[in-house]
Structure 1
Amino acid sequence: MSLGWVAFLLFAGCSVALENTQALNVSQRCMNDTNRFLREINQDWPKEYAVSMYDAFGKMGSNVEGGNVNRPGLLQLCRSAHAPTFSGQYCQVFLRQGTVQYFVGVCVPDSCEEEEVQMLVLYGRLQFSQTSLIPPLPPILVNQSTQEMIMTHCLSDTIAPDASDFTCLFVCCVMVAIPLAATLFTAMIRWQQDREVSPTVESPSLNTGLKLYGTLKTNASSSSKINSNTSEEKGNNCTRHTTLCFSRSCVYRYLQVFSLQTTTQGIFSTSSSIPGGGYSCLNGIRVLSLLWIICGHSAEYTLNNLDNYKNWKNTVESSPLYVLTISGPVFLAVDTFLLLGGLLSARSLLGSINRAEDKLSTSLVTNYLFKRIKRIQPLHMFFVCLTTGLISLVQWGPYWFPFKDTGVDCKTYWWANLLLISNVLPSNKICIPWTWYLSLDFQCYATTPLLVYFYRLNRGVFAVVSGGLVLMTTVTSAVITALLQLPVVHPSTLQFENYVLYYYKKPYTRYGPFLIGVLTGIYLATKKNQLLKQKWQAILGWFCCLSLMAVLVGLAYILRETPAYPSVPHALYQGLHRQLWALAVTWIILACEEGYGGFIKSLLSLDVWVPLSNISFACYLTHPVFIILYNGLQETPIHYTGINFMYLFLGHLVLTVVVSYVFTVLVEKPYLHT
């Protein structure tokens, strides 16, 4: 369709509409500005701003059959158009044509409100019968010529943070400023200590203390001893040695805890990051599972931006070669994290009981749960505040609409994140959608004391309780899948809400891997003899483990389609596959711990995994922010190819690791050590 013909249609339609402004409920100013734009685009020598506005309109591209149905246009070009009485305003018109939903970017005068733009588009369609102001997709490509308007949305070219946004940003600044200030004060105090201690080098008794100070000056207890010796040498004169006196105060000790001099220690250490030592293979399992999740999210969150979505779907969802980017098997990595959480929670609690003279008291359980809250909540709530404030400060592009309600959700439902119950909310109401896992993890974590209590009370009762819980989560998952006809992978269809609301994020369907982790942790912490005594047992175990993993991944592809009726294979797979995957990973851990891991243990125990494992919690919270920022700022669609997605993944990964290190030392570690 030529420029002149489109301009003629627009001009004719809106000129007629000018006479019916009141009937259309369109303001006089909006109509005047629209008519001016249409007149000046229809001249022999169109105005430059009018050409820019027309050029910014979304137009149909190639590969509609492959999924290139959205017509975003050019947001920045539209905003750069300035007429004498108005500027260009970018709006998105969301349409449905048969079973195809898409949006078209239009550039209209900024004097028009969203409702007025919608009325102009609707009136143009009615005025010209089969000819719309926004040309429909050809029927030969979508088997339907009639358009149906869903909504119209105009993107503001200004940012307007409110009081809650400023409050969130202020809280984030304070949480970061405290460690930075503590770092500065700690450096100044240590520098002053060096100055005050150095003149007393001639004292033989003090020389010994100074040598110790030079060797272990970063150690708080050592510093305290030196300060004590120095004070005795000078008669405990705190008037003259205020720095040395202050260094022994509670304030200084808290400054040290929050300072970077303390929080950066051990981050890049290659010694095991597992509390209590041992289990070196867990670092590799944790990091590889995290990389799998980041890769999966890089693909999942980008699907709305693709210009060849159908090509991606046909290629990726049909081949296990793309196992790292399909949304079905990739979420088995979440079950791996639940398994590791159960294992480490049982080991931690049993260690606390041993240190408490074999007593499982109420105060011990309370302290155990409080440590967990202190471990996750400071960084978690920091991200709630950061995301809420960041959303209000960014000028988003055409592809921001899948996440546009996130800021509103955080302002309304932040309390669910604070109470760690966000996974009970519908998916479209969760503040920071990926934090549902933290709520699920804590809910599972809170059951560990009860399981350990039954274990210590009576092994038979413990076996019955554990078996009943495994049976419950298996049957519940299978029944929900059958009744709601759910797929076995994370759907991108109308089944998404039911899948997430009733199955994916709920403790009663996801508890199995965590329970298996608790059982594994209890076994490893209390075992007296090795489980594997002969090499043939290890060979058989590895064969069963790897075969089971391959079958579970392969079945996800075979059963990937949403069933049209209650399906027994889908129900059985959904009920059993998470527990079976957890058992396979459990075998890997046991084999590695008992000396039958071979090259797999060598791989999982590499020193390179330890620093990444130390910042893995921050990486999990950080990586979706970069993916959403990248996608939300795009003006044009992304074309899927393997090489494009590899570079996207690597880019997101590098940024995630760098920023996660900063958040770990500034937010997570300081509040963890208080």
Structure 2
Amino acid sequence: MLQVRWTAVTLMCLLFHQAAFARNVSLKCMQDTTTFLVELEKETPRQYAVLMYDAFGKMGSDVEGGNVNRLGSVRECRSVEGPEFSGQYCQVFLKQDRVEYFVGVCVPDSCTESEVQTLMYYEAFEQGRISLIPPVPSVLMSDSTLGIFMTQCYSDSTHLDLSAINCLFVCSVLLALPLVASIYVALIKRKKLREVRPGAGLTQTSNTNQYGAVLSNGSATQDATQTSDQNAENYQQNFTKSFLSCLHGFSIQNSGEGLLCAGNSASSYSSLNGIRILSLLWIISGHTVQLSVWNKLDNDKRWKEMVESNPLYVFAFSGPVYLAVDSFLLLGGLLSAKSLLSSIRRSDNTLSTGLVAHFLIKRFKRIQPLHLFIVCLTIGLFSVAQSGVFWFIAEDEIFNCKKYWWLNLLLINNLFTITDICAPWTWYLSIDFQFYATTPLLIFMYRLNKRVLVVVSIVLLMVSSVTGALITGFLHLPVHQPTTLAYESYFQYYYNKPYTRYGPYLLGILAGIYMTTKKETLIKKQWQAVIGWLCSLSVMALVVGLAYVLREVPPHLSLPHAVYQGMHRSLWALALVWIILACEEGYGGFADTILSLSLWTPLSNISFACYLIHPIIIILYNGKQETTMHYTDLNFFYLFLGHLLLTVVAGYLLTLLIEKPYLFLMRAKQ
């Protein structure tokens, strides 16, 4: 079989030598490649050549269902030790009959990426095109012409540069400091518990009498000296007390207090924790599927046929899933209005410039320690981890974080295209802070004149809706997040931009103002509650259902797509406002019982860290896969549960070691 497959190896070697001079392939690369090919021609090839050939990606079954990628074996290729070279795993990205896929190849490590691409596919005199990668047969794809648009090679060693080393060091120090403080606090407490002073009171009295006698018989100089010593001792005691207090506040013992306690605070709305956690679970479920689909499933076509047209997959399909982000924006607006109004009441009912500045700085300090830690962790962790078959997403993250970390620092990364920003999921933090900064302005309008607030709010809602509709119509955008990275215009012009996503946050601010300042209940009779619930649930069902009806990308300007895109996020948020209000006024029923469960409180306490860390866990898992993932409902349900468990554990640790301690440290500096 081996001889049949490689009958043209000798001719190919001669052609490769000719190509080396014509296409600038190094002599060392050509010699090593020729050695490998000649060895394969032998009746009994050496083990290294067999392993290299075996590590090549080969076509599998169910190409019709989407199984087009030929991964090969990274592990087997990296184990190759040739006469004068080692095995190097590369991916050659091809296009055939409008289908894009990649093939894993094992080549000598003396060849560069450009040389591998030259050797894989070139023109050789009248022999025409010769390729080490056979195309998909014409029985499966009508056009057998191959086109190479990229080649990428992976090393079996990690590439740590200065930025990665610095990030690893910073992350290690930030994690170590609370641990050291915790150990020190634990030792101090243990020492105090073990101290036994049976004669402490007698000794203290004796010393007092002794020093009293000295002072009564001493000179004025001695008295001054004693006073100075006492002041120094008092200063030292105060400093020690402050240091120990700061150390305790920075420790795990302090950060963990109440973190996992169940129950709802009397000052907060009981249903918010439930909405927050259910939305987070929805997002983790969506990312579990979405990021896997980007890596190409081995039944990709069948997945699309099954999932994209069935509303039962509302937890996996990208359109409805990311309505959970609009739920977050609504909650953010509601709580920001509530927080600012409470601060105004505590400040003699005055909305001053200083109060607004403190309001914004407090928010900045609240989110940035953990946010920037995640940026640093992304660079360090992905640089240390050994690359795998699907490591290209992780490599993009490393490159983008090294280049664009300052966008995360300034909280403006959402203003750039999502394919060129560090940790793309953190765009939400930027847009949330930008919207947060508008809360004081709207509160000022409310205090100035309520009618002005109503007019401005209507105008802002219309601008946000019309902008989203126009962008969707003229750019022919889908109404949901695409399942491939091909639709860059969706991310670049619509998805993460403040001028298209402000509606839910604005409704949250208005809801927060109303619920904080209302004098009486809105729902006065049972029939009003029934009508409200019917309208709310109908709107939510309509918003979710239409995402499936309008799932196709419009080839031309489509009015239904434009109208849906412009209005569906605000309609979803408006329905959620009703649910929150109904639960607060005693008309929540079963929904209020579920949303107000004490279970949600500890999860809500760590939800910020869980949101930031879960994509890293998913990317690491997907990037380290050695085979293409296969979608079944059961497979991905178990995968979701695994990601969820790791996310909760990692989120708890990050909250305990990073979020809470450094939030305390920043408060202590005030």
TM-score band, normalised by the shorter chain? over 0.9
Deviation, 1:317, is 0.2
Pick from 244, 261, 283 the counterpart of residue 269 of structure 1: 261
Pick from 310, 323, 327 the counterpart of residue 332 of structure 1: 323
| Residues 144-165 of structure 1, C-alpha deviations (whole Å, 9 max, x = no match) | 1100111111111111211111
Question: For residues 597-608 of structure 1, what are the structure 2 equivalents within 5 Å?
Answer: 597-608=588-599
8 Å CA contact 2:511–2:577 kept in 1: the answer is: yes
Deviation, 1:373, is 0.8
Pair 1:622 & 2:613 matched: yes
Deviation, 1:260, is 0.5
Q: Distance in 2 between matches of 1:494 and 1:175?
A: 35
Pair 1:647 & 2:646 matched: no
- TM-score w.r.t. the length of structure 2 is 0.92
Match of 1:99 in 2: 98
Amino acid at match of 1:310: K
8 Å CA contact 2:122–2:129 kept in 1: the answer is: no
Q: Distance in 1 between matches of 2:86 and 2:123?
A: 22
Pair 1:314 & 2:313 matched: no
Question: For residues 113-512 of structure 1, what are the structure 2 equivalents within 5 Å?
Answer: 113-123=112-122, 128-129=127-128, 132-195=131-194, 199=198, 245=237, 249-272=241-264, 277-303=267-293, 304-492=295-483, 496-512=487-503
Match of 2:515 in 1: 524
Residue ranges of structure 1 left out of the alignment (5+ in a row): 204-234
Deviation, 1:193, is 3.7
Change (3 A) 1:299 1:200: farther
| Residues 425-483 of structure 1, C-alpha deviations (whole Å, 9 max, x = no match) | 11121001110000000000010000000000111111111111111101111111111
Instruction: State the SS of the aligned residue for 1:149.
Output: strand
Change (3 A) 1:125 1:558: farther
Match of 1:69 in 2: 68
8 Å CA contact 2:394–2:620 kept in 1: the answer is: no
Q: Distance in 2 between matches of 1:360 and 1:62?
A: 68
| Residues 467-514 of structure 1, C-alpha deviations (whole Å, 9 max, x = no match) | 111111011111111111111011135762111111110111100000
Deviation, 1:84, is 2.2
Residue ranges of structure 2 left out of the alignment (5+ in a row): 203-226, 666-670
Amino acid at match of 1:438: L
8 Å CA contact 1:86–1:110 kept in 2: the answer is: yes
Further displaced range: 503-512 or 253-262: 253-262
Deviation, 1:526, is 0.6
Q: Distance in 1 between matches of 2:649 and 2:235?
A: 35
Match of 1:40 in 2: 39
Pick from 623, 634, 652 the counterpart of residue 661 of structure 1: 652
Change (3 A) 1:614 1:10: farther
Q: Distance in 2 between matches of 1:642 and 1:181?
A: 45
Pick from 569, 579, 585 the counterpart of residue 570 of structure 2: 579
8 Å CA contact 2:93–2:148 kept in 1: the answer is: yes
| Residues 6-59 of structure 1, C-alpha deviations (whole Å, 9 max, x = no match) | 323344212332255322322222112112111222211111111111000000
Deviation, 1:250, is 2.7
Q: Distance in 1 between matches of 2:29 and 2:16?
A: 11
Aligned sequence identity (%) = 56
Deviation, 1:184, is 1.8
Deviation, 1:130, is 5.9
Amino acid at match of 1:558: V
Deviation, 1:170, is 1.3
Pick from 547, 553, 557 the counterpart of residue 538 of structure 2: 547
Deviation, 1:118, is 1.3
* Aligned residue pair count: 642
Amino acid at match of 1:73: G
| Residues 608-656 of structure 1, C-alpha deviations (whole Å, 9 max, x = no match) | 1111110000000010011100110111101110001001100100001
- TM-score w.r.t. the length of structure 1 is 0.92
Q: Distance in 2 between matches of 1:393 and 1:87?
A: 21
Q: Distance in 2 between matches of 1:245 and 1:612?
A: 40
Instruction: State the SS of the aligned residue for 1:101.
Output: strand
Instruction: State the SS of the aligned residue for 1:301.
Output: helix
Runs of 4+ in structure 1 displaced over 4 angstroms?
Answer: 124-128, 195-203, 235-244
Deviation, 1:201, is 8.3
Deviation, 1:242, is 9.7
| Residues 211-249 of structure 1, C-alpha deviations (whole Å, 9 max, x = no match) | xxxxxxxxxxxxxxxxxxxxxxxx999899999936763
8 Å CA contact 2:291–2:619 kept in 1: the answer is: yes
CA RMSD of aligned residues (A): 2.3
Amino acid at match of 1:508: Y
Match of 2:24 in 1: 25
Q: Distance in 2 between matches of 1:494 and 1:649?
A: 22
8 Å CA contact 1:488–1:556 kept in 2: the answer is: yes
Instruction: State the SS of the aligned residue for 1:249.
Output: helix
Amino acid at match of 1:267: L
8 Å CA contact 1:238–1:245 kept in 2: the answer is: no
